[in-house]
């Protein structure tokens, strides 16, 4: 396994040392930048050469996330209380600096005050000047450096605390007392282990067997006239042809046994074909129920083919019990969910009822909501600009604005600020999105 370590030189060296000590058989590839803006070009080059990327800080991660799509798994070293606490104690006990008057970037107020409280400082005991700038602003590093410089030389603070190496180097050249917050070994190791686990899960997930069991119930021939019997035979032949064509498109092996069609493939193929199990083209083409037939489909997932086949039969049996046809899915733990219905039957092919309700409320398609929720969760996004969201979702700015407008009207999004304009351009909205409860 190859992990690309992306960050400034010193930070990359620290992470590489932890990786070598704890995982000597994992190859670390140093990817070093002088300015976080260079991270986009570096990722375009190195993503093809590594299995995962570990950002040494959140600044480059946030910037890159708005400009390039991940082709491999990304993780970053978070800003947490332990790292901040270590920085404060080092400043107080090793350097003998006054830590009650500080200027800070990169950390939210809540975390700052709770960390000070841990070492016996109340709010009334400290003065904290927090940098008001965001990563979206041009000359972000220069703005932060000037902020700390002015705060110190004006006598407002005794020391400066930063999470950005370039800012730390600038202030040290001016002989400004400065503490660089560095992730502790425990946090570095935790994120490396998390990356390795996510990578192994992706490998095992893509290799997981997927089996589709299809059962067709046709009307009994003895109850039909000769004309209707001919119609049933024609319908059956047509449906069989469609099933085999569907299997060929999936490159799936087909086995007929015990009145069932079994299609053997992988979970990744099935997941891709069904848009993460939110719709099923075969049901859209044939229909779950016709004038002389009913189709029940079960998808079974498991590391072993035998267990996947068993789960597919379990899911198919669930579809039979419901009596209306449709698709059900049984996972490796035998949990059965569904139905995923045909669009022809009036359903939306939905499994997640929460997203279904939001879709009904907003008028936004379930597939778009699913992708949006995944983006917010994967990149730990609390606020975002429309331009950044368009890049994440791979859609046009116009489509993004229509999407955000619908979310705002339904209360699932709200504007919380604006970015500074670039040269003569207009400022961009900063939007908060949440699917938990409509925002007031």
Return the exposure string of 207-239: e unless at least 16 CB atoms fall within 10 Å of the residue's CB, then b.
ebbbbbbbbbeebeeeeeeeeeeeebeebeeeb
With beta carbons less than 8 A apart as the criterion, state whether 129 and 109 touch.
no
pLDDT tens, position by position, 252-287:
888 888 889 999 988 888 877 776 776 677 776 665
What average pLDDT score do residues 370-397 get? 78
Do 266 and 208 meet the contact criterion of CB atoms below 8 Å apart?
yes
Domain boundaries, the chain: 2-78+185-203, 81-180, 207-345, 362-433
Mean pLDDT over each residue of the chain, to the nearest integer: 81
CATH architecture of 207-345: 2-Layer Sandwich (3.30)
CATH code reported for the domain at 81-180: 3.40.50
> To the nearest whole percent, how much of the chain has pLDDT over 70?
83
Q: Which residues, 6 or more positions from 264, have their beta carbon under 8 angstroms from its beta carbon? A: 209, 210, 211, 252, 253, 254, 255, 305, 309
- pTM score above 0.85: no
Unique residue bearing structure tokens 């370039």: 166
Tell how strand 293-302 and strand 336-340 pair up.
Answer: unpaired
In this prediction, residue 345 carries a pLDDT of: 42
Pick the CATH number of 362-433 from 3.40.50.300, 1.10.10.10, 3.30.43.10, 2.40.50.220: 1.10.10.10
Pick the range with the lowest mean pLDDT from 13-27, 88-102, 341-355, 388-402: 341-355
- Residue 372 has φ and ψ, to the nearest 5°, of -65, -45
In angstroms, rounded to a whole number, what is the distance separating the alpha carbons of residues 355 and 78? 29
The CATH architecture to which 2-78+185-203 belongs is: 3-Layer(aba) Sandwich (3.40)
Residue 376 pLDDT grade (very low, low, confident, very high; cuts 50, 70, 90): confident
pLDDT > 90? residue 351: no
Q: Cβ atoms within 10 A of the Cβ of 425, count?
A: 9
Q: Is a pLDDT exceeding 80 seen at residue 159?
A: yes
Question: What's the CA gap between 72 and 311, in Å, rounded?
Answer: 30
* Strands 209-218 and 260-266, sheet pairing: antiparallel
CATH topology agreement for domains 81-180 and 362-433: no
Q: Are strands 73-76 and 52-55 parallel, antiparallel or unpaired?
A: parallel
More confident residue, 386 or 137: 386
Q: What is the pLDDT of residues 43-88, one digit of tens each?
A: 999 988 998 999 998 888 888 887 888 888 888 888 778 888 888 8
Exposure letters 328-343 (e unless 16+ CB within 10 A, then b): bbbbbeeebebbbbbe
Q: Provide the token pair at 339.
A: 């139905």
């Amino acid at each position: 396994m190859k992990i690309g370590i992306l960050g400034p030189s010193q930070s990359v060296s620290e992470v590489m040392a932890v990786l070598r000590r704890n995982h000597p058989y994992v190859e670390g590839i140093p990817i070093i930048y002088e300015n976080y803006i260079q991270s986009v070009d570096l990722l375009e080059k190195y993503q093809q050469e590594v299995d995962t990327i570990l950002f040494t800080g959140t600044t480059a991660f946030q910037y890159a996330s708005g400009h390039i799509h991940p082709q491999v798994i990304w993780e970053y070293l978070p800003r947490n209380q332990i790292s901040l606490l270590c920085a404060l104690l080092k400043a107080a006990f090793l350097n003998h600096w006054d830590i009650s008057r500080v200027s800070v970037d990169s950390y939210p107020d809540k975390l700052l005050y709770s960390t000070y409280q841990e070492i016996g400082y109340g709010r009334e005991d400290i003065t904290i000047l927090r940098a008001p700038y965001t990563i979206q602003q041009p000359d972000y590093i220069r703005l932060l450096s000037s902020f700390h410089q002015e705060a110190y030389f004006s006598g407002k603070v005794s020391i400066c605390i930063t999470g950005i190496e370039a800012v730390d180097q600038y202030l040290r050249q001016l002989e400004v007392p400065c503490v660089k917050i560095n992730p502790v070994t425990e946090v570095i190791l935790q994120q490396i282990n998390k990356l390795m686990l996510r990578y192994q899960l992706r490998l095992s997930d893509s290799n997981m067997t997927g089996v589709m069991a299809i059962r067709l119930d046709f009307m009994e021939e003895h109850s039909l006239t000769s004309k209707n019997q001919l119609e049933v035979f024609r319908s059956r032949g047509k449906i069989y042809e469609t099933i085999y064509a569907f299997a060929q498109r999936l490159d799936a092996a087909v086995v007929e046994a015990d009145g069932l069609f079994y299609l053997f493939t992988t979970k990744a193929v099935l997941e891709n074909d069904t848009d993460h199990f939110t719709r099923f083209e075969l049901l859209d083409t044939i229909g779950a129920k016709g004038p002389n037939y009913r189709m029940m489909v079960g998808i079974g997932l498991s590391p072993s083919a035998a267990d996947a086949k068993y789960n597919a039969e379990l899911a198919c049996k669930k579809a039979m019990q419901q009596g209306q046809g449709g698709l059900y899915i049984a996972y490796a733990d035998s949990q059965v969910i569904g139905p995923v219905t045909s669009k022809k039957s009036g359903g939306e092919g939905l499994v997640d009822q929460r997203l279904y309700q939001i879709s009904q409320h907003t008028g936004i398609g379930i597939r778009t909501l699913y992708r949006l929720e995944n983006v917010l969760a994967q990149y730990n996004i609390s606020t975002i600009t429309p331009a950044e969201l368009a890049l994440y979702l791979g859609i046009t700015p116009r489509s993004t604005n229509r999407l955000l407008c619908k979310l705002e009207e339904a209360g699932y999004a709200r504007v919380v600020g604006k970015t500074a304009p670039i040269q003569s351009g207009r400022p961009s909205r900063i939007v908060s999105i949440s699917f938990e409860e409509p925002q007031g």
